């Protein structure tokens, strides 16, 4: 595991839980709107956390933590992720996994072994626009489709989520996404936020009114669609 970040306590990353968040390094996408540039493309002089440091922290805070959120980058790129999670589960902590959905085989294996309690999977855009928004022109969207179908089996609690940019998402895209993930358990739209950590800071946010109109479209397909981080 390449662990490049640790947020010791968060009330935001794991819905309804007190958690620590672990940030893994590396990603197989290059989303230009990504807020985690230094995780996706780590600088040469980056200093990683050792597993010992992580587990020392978790042991010290075990009494106040409900669980651990593992995010990235893309955690499922790391072949030793299952073993790492095993050790967290052995401590009696819940595990939430954030994923871009490109490794359905690992996600299914984690579900089969009872190693994850909650999965948040990105839906970058409609199928038609997926490759352009992830900046992966030759990427086969089949893995994303497989992950969507896997999560919709509801063998584990989950949500889909999309970061919405004015330059990338319109009402037609919401219709297309709605038809694609119709019947999903939960779907969250998150407005794009400007930040110095973005890979390519060329995007802007839709107005709150437009975002609410997108939710109205999506509720026709996924009744439990909500805005996150918008008042």
Closest residue by Cα to residue 168 from 143, 192, 196, 137: 192
Is residue 93 a contact point for ligand SF4 (CB under 6 A)? no
Is residue 225 a contact point for ligand SF4 (CB under 6 A)? no
Q: What does the per-residue mask of binding to ligand SF4 show for 107-136, with x meaning CB under 6 A?
A: ------------------------------
C-alpha torsion angle, residues 175, 166, 211, 145 (rounded to 10): 40
Nearer to ligand SF4 by Cβ, of 89 and 147: the residue is 147
In the bound complex, what is the minimum distance in angstroms from residue 123's beta carbon to ligand SF4? 11
| Euclidean distance between the first and the last CA atom of the chain, given in angstroms as a whole number | 37
Q: What does the per-residue mask of binding to ligand SF4 show for 134-163, with x meaning CB under 6 A?
A: ------------------------------
Q: Which residues have a Cβ under 8 Å from the Cβ of 119 and sit 6 or more positions away? A: 96, 97, 98, 99, 107, 151, 156, 157, 158, 159
Q: What does the per-residue mask of binding to ligand SF4 show for 29-58, with x meaning CB under 6 A?
A: xxx--x-x---x------------------
Is residue 100 a contact point for ligand SF4 (CB under 6 A)? yes
* Main-chain phi, psi angles of 181, to 5 degrees: -105, 20
Q: What does the per-residue mask of binding to ligand SF4 show for 63-82, with x meaning CB under 6 A?
A: ---------xxx--------
Residue 66's CB is within 10 A of a number of other CB atoms, namely 15
Name the token pair of 227: 């805005």
How far apart (Å, rounded) are the C-alpha atoms in residues 91 and 12?
22
Is residue 173 a contact point for ligand SF4 (CB under 6 A)? no
Q: Which residues bind ligand SF4 (CB under 6 A)?
A: 27, 29-31, 34, 36, 40, 72-74, 100
């Amino acid at each position: 595991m390449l662990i490049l970040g640790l947020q010791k306590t968060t009330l935001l990353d794991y819905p309804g839980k007190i958690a620590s968040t672990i940030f893994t390094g590396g990603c197989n996408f290059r989303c230009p709107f990504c807020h985690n540039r230094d995780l996706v493309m780590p600088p040469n002089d980056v200093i990683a956390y050792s597993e010992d440091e992580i587990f020392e922290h978790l042991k010290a805070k075990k009494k106040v933590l409900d669980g651990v959120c593992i995010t990235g980058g893309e955690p499922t790129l790391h072949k030793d992720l299952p073993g790492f999670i095993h050790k967290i589960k052995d401590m009696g902590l819940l595990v939430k996994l954030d994923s871009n959905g490109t490794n359905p085989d690992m996600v299914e294996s984690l579900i089969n072994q009872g190693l994850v309690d909650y999965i948040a999977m990105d839906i970058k855009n409609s199928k038609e626009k997926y490759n352009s928004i992830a900046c992966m022109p030759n990427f086969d969207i089949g893995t994303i489709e497989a992950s969507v179908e896997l999560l919709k089996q509801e063998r584990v609690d989950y949500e889909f989520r999309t970061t919405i940019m004015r330059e990338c998402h319109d009402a037609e895209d919401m219709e297309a996404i709605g038809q694609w993930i119709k019947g999903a358990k939960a779907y969250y739209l998150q407005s794009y936020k400007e930040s110095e950590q973005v890979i390519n800071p060329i995007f802007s946010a839709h107005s709150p009114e437009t975002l609410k109109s997108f939710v109205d479209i999506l509720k026709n397909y996924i009744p439990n669609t909500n805005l996150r981080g918008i008042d």
